[in-house]
Structure 1
Amino acid sequence: MARLRAELAAGPGPLRVFSLQSNYLMGAPPSTAPLTAHPAVTVTDDETYAMRHVRVDPAQLAGPDDPVLRALDDYLEGLYPSQWLPAPSGLPALADLRLLLSEDFAALGVHLEADRDLPAGWEQHPARSVPHLVERCARHHGLGEDAAALYLMLLALPDPTDRRVKEWTGWKPARFKAATAELAATPLVVRASRDRAGRALFVPGPWQERPAPNLPLEAAKLALLPALGSRRAAGHLAAVPAVPVPLLFERAWDRAVPPAAR
């Protein structure tokens, strides 16, 4: 990650994000003139393969939220499948570019370097990564520490299946069952049966289905994860955080219990 960020900072020049081609049934793609009006975007002709490559210069962008990236997203969404081709990676590279420009992604690289000096263990277990937050959650909601840790995993993580929670925590079945029962007795979660969820407890709110192999998840978590959604440029992204896991827990807690409510 650090190397990729360093290369980006060195100004690699325009990067190909996707390519365009004409189709004898659907015709030529829409004009790219509104896109190339921005100095970050160029379109080059490839006469050998009869296509045009859309390129973006990261040095000309204000960051991962630059409006030109949203304009490129909108343009890509409006194309027929036969009118565009992915970047050399085999994927639309807009979401990848956003990740590389993100300060959260840079922080993740720094965090992983520091974390290798800590005792072995899963960061998904809040008792290891954010023990202070487990104590705060337990005190605020009147929970035992195991139930509080389970609640934080359900609140923040995209894939807290029963099997994975047991793996992350090392809890034996009896301990997991006790934590689940304690948390289920509160209004903090709902118990339900949902296809492919791999768990029975959920944070209340809308539910977001996702095509396999991605797991469905609470819709509120989408704001905590990198550019997830149904747009083409993000369709290849796995539902994993692009931010240090301790910071992910902190953000999820702040969303659930704003400081003014503590």
Structure 2
Amino acid sequence: MAFRRIRILVLLGLLAIVALVHFGEQYLVRSWRAPLQVAIVPINGDGSETVSEYLQHLNVSAFDDIDSFLEKQASRYGLKLSGALDMRIAPEAHELPPAPPFGGNGLQVAWWSLKLRIWAWRQEKNGFLPHPAKVRLFLIYHEVEYDKELDHSLGLQKGLVGVVHVFASKEQEAQNNVVIAHELLHTLGATDKYDLSTSLPTYPNGYADPGKQPLHPQYEAEIMGGRIPRSADHAEMPKSLDQCMIGADTAHEINFSGAFHRQFSR
């Protein structure tokens, strides 16, 4: 009986530590006190020579649009950021992450989420625990094919991990950055603002300009809405982050408003 109690206490202690680490991570990454550290980990998703050649020339400037986008959007909410992100490209990973369960139940999804976080931790090249406030985005690159539909990308708030499917092409980098920014914001607590069954942005929080009359067509996408609603039943993928904005609900979720009040209450 005493051993059982000790085992329960140890388990509760571990759960408490995990909860504290998660709370601490989210406080740090959403404080906006300093540029958010983001590690970009490229993966050759096709195992092709075309993708391999693209990755050999990949540099961090390919993602500058994301930093500029966050700075610009933060300023809309009164928050002044001198560099929103500190993005660095890590060595290429040669192992694909565990695939999410298709139509899985809550337990299966939770187990997969844990496996993904363990997998991400194993990719750390230095053999030590990762920085406690570093987002890791695993970018799985694919060859460009006409009308090719990539697997669903995802971002996890727990563990600060994103798995993003993108195209290995200079011409696609601007649109890649839309998807990358969307998943990055998921790791910071932002929620999807589109209908999962139709991929159409939800009204009003998934619209860039919900007060527009007439409502359609819209000319920008709310970043977590994901698409530009051209009509009530048709929406288009934005070509770049220049066609995107961060709505009030998303700004609240990633703490732009809280960081603003802290910045100007000193």
Higher strand share: 2
Q: Same fold, TM exceeding 0.5?
A: no
TM-score (ref. length: structure 2): 0.21
TM-score (ref. length: structure 1): 0.21
